[in-house]
Amino acid sequence: MKTNLLDFNLDQLTQHFAAMGEKPFRAKQVMRWMHQMAQSDFDAMTDIAKSLRAKLHETAEVRVPALMMGQESGDGTRKWLLDVGTGNGVETVFIPENERGTLCVSSQVGCALECTFCSTGRQGFNRNLSTAEIIGQLWWANKALGVTPKEERVVSNVVMMGMGEPLANYDNVVSALNIMLDDHAYGLSRRRVTVSTSGLVPQMDRLREDCPVALAVSLHAPNDALRDVIVPINKKYPLKELMAACQRYLERAPRDFVTFEYVMLDGINDRPEHARQLIELVRDVPCKFNLIPFNPFPNSGYGRSSNNAIHIFRELLQEAGLVVTVRKTRGDDIDAACGQLAGQVQDKTRRQAKWTQIIEEGKQ
Ligand code: SAH
Ligand code: SF4
């Protein structure tokens, strides 16, 4: 099989070219063609010597995942479904705002972590995305949005908040992050690239050393008893360890705070006593809160907190001096809102069948 050059960050491509007897600047040129000009055809790379183009044709390719579907929401949000083989598809969402355009990128086909309120988690896990499949999402977005030169780029921010747990696919995600940050590729600053994790503590420590981008942590509960249920990875890395890992991360982070995401689930984690516990929990961690109104999906078993409950919760946190935003729901008419990304996942763990059975039994 031909080598997919989209799998390489600049260091890896330079090494690959060195093995072919090519100079390092060739790697930079090809990086720019692939990523800044969204070019996949070697023949269009006009400043590359013909002899090298011929060699590349024989041994390599720029293979982006095929586009299965594109949709646009009434509010300008766009969603693309990319074919990642054997009947699987992953979703990427572009959210335009006044000053910026944010791309929400997927890292896995499905997710193994079983958070109970998450549609991706409900589907089970199929496999990790390759570096090419992760960076291919940014490639497609730039291509589809009709931008190539750096100055005009519409995607100004990337959040790893699509399908999957990015830190469970560590190597490929870090390689893709490197490409996002590289001046010869997308040239995004570390502050504008965010990894969102449900709290894989050892990998948070590795990321701090390898590629410290902005960090978001999916907290969702203020105590271990509740978090054990709704974010089960908490049983492995409980809150005390998670808070300590956040503090360590901040020593290297490009921003001086961690963003805590908190999905507002009606009657589950949205009461004033939960807010009070949260204030205690994060006392020593410089942070901002992002409250996410729960986005329903079929048979979720959860409801969205009322606007009033969200308002009271927010006020309590703010009175304690915390900075809080409430995430606007965007793109829900095309199922592109947080936690609604389902893609097409052939579940290797057959988890969906298990859930369907549990839900059916509950109805009897
Ligand atoms: N696995 C990573 C990143 C993907 S999920 C993580 O868990 O952080 C991105 C965000 O969407 C997380 O904060 C997640 O908890 C949240 N989310 C998942 N399902 C949701 C839903 N149904 N409604 C609102 N937010 C949801
Ligand atoms: Fe996985 Fe994140 Fe969904 Fe949890 S919330 S199941 S970690 S994608």
Strand partners, 110: 125
Residue by residue, pLDDT tens for the chain (364 residues) are: 899 999 999 999 999 999 999 999 999 999 999 999 999 999 999 999 999 999 999 999 999 999 888 888 888 889 999 999 888 889 999 998 888 899 999 999 999 999 999 988 888 899 999 999 999 999 999 988 886 555 555 899 999 999 999 999 999 999 999 999 999 999 999 999 999 999 999 999 999 999 999 999 999 999 999 999 999 999 999 999 999 999 999 999 989 999 999 999 999 999 999 999 999 999 999 999 999 999 888 888 999 999 999 999 999 999 999 999 998 877 766 666 665 666 666 666 666 666 666 556 655 5
- Class for the domain spanning 3-61: mainly alpha
Check 91, 114, 133, 261 and give the catalytic one: 91
8 lines ligand 1 (CB under 6 A): no
Q: What is the edge-to-edge ordering of all strands in the sheet holding 78-83?
A: 66-72, 78-83, 89-96, 101-104, 157-160, 193-197, 214-218, 258-264, 287-293, 323-326
**Cβ atoms of 68 and 137 closer than 8 Å:** no
Pick the atom of ligand 1 nearest to 216's CA: 8
Domain 66-363: homologous superfamily in CATH: Aldolase class I (3.20.20.70)
Question: What's the gap in Å between 54 CA and the centre of ligand 1?
Answer: 45
Nearest alpha carbon, ligand 1 atom 5: 161
Tokens 């410290």 locate to 212
Pairwise CA distance, residues 342 & 336, whole Å: 9
Does residue 104 have an active-site annotation?
A: no
Question: Is 287 annotated as contributing to ligand binding?
Answer: no
Is 118 assigned a ligand-binding role in the annotation? yes
338 is annotated as an active-site residue: yes
Q: Residue 219: CB within 6 Å of ligand 2? A: no
Active-site position among 211, 246, 287, 338: 338
Count the alpha carbons within 13 Å of 233 in the hemisphere toward its beta carbon: 21
73 is an annotated ligand-binding site residue:
no
Q: Where in the chain is the domain with CATH 1.10.150.530?
A: 3-61
Both tokens of 231, joined, read 């974010």
Residues of each domain in the chain carrying CATH 3.20.20.70: 66-363
Q: What is the Cα 211 distance to its own chain's centre?
A: 15
